[in-house]
Amino acid sequence: MFIGHFGTAFAAKKIDSRPSLGTLMLAAQFIDLLWPVLLLLGIEKVAIDPGNTTVTPLDFYHYPISHSPLGVLGWGVLLGFVYYLVRKNWKGSLLLAALVLSHWVLDLVTHRPDLPLIPGMEVKVGFGLWNSLIGTLLVELAVFIGGVYLYMKMTRAKNGKGKYATWGLILFLVLVYSSNIFGAAPPSVEPIAYVGMLQWLLVLWGYWIDGNREVR
């Protein structure tokens, strides 16, 4: 899943409006922000395998640190704890931890059984929604559009930047998503990791948006 994770970040603003949209995006996408770093370090592995599922040509055959329940729990607690130290906001820190976990739950729905249940063991899970293009689009767009709707109801632009930066990000995510789904398979693993790293810029984009919007 890609765009759906951003949907949960947008939606989370409704639960606690204090964390910046950038922080919410950081949490919801945290394990996918970590993953390219681990790929480049050679700690986690992915292979290009067109047809692996209908939607993705990637075979996520080894990613226990970013995408096992234990790993995700650890990252969620860590992120929530750091946020609490900085902001002293319990509700927000629990929300961020829940967002980190939500990523794994949404991945569980979409991935084929490739998510390692326990690091080092061969038990892998995934409900395989990615085997259906229509199913994937329906679920993922529903989560994304629902999240955007809640965010727009919850906040308003303070100025032109707050308006256009938000719509710009939404449009950009939709474009990236369609090129992921309908574009050609990547030529090798390295570009996947480098493009994955660019997602950090989306987080900065979230902070920029948040600075130019206010709670209604």
Helix (H, G, I), strand (E, B) or coil at 14: coil
Q: Mind giving me the DSSP string for 154-197?
A: HEEESSHHHHHHHHHHHHHHHHHHHHHHHSPPPSSHHHHHHHHH
Other Cβ atoms less than 10 A from the Cβ of 102: the count is: 22
In terms of CB distance, is 63 or 83 closer to Zn ion? 63
Rounded CA gap, 203 and 26, in Å? 6
Provide the minimum distance between the beta carbon of 153 and Zn ion in the complex, in angstroms, as a whole number.
Answer: 27
59 binds Zn ion (CB under 5 A): no
Q: Could you count the other beta carbons within 10 Å of the beta carbon of residue 18?
A: 12
In the bound complex, what is the minimum distance in angstroms from residue 103's beta carbon to Zn ion?
6
Work out how close the CB of 34 gets to Zn ion at its nearest, in angstroms, rounded to a whole number.
9
The single residue among 44, 107, 140, 210 that binds Zn ion, judged by CB under 5 A, is 107
For the chain, the farthest-separated pair of C-alpha atoms sits apart, in whole angstroms, at 52
For residue 167, the minimal CB distance to Zn ion (Å) is 26
Of the candidate residues 14, 15, 16, 32, the single one contacting Zn ion (CB under 5 A): 32
> Rule CB under 5 A: which residues touch Zn ion?
32, 107
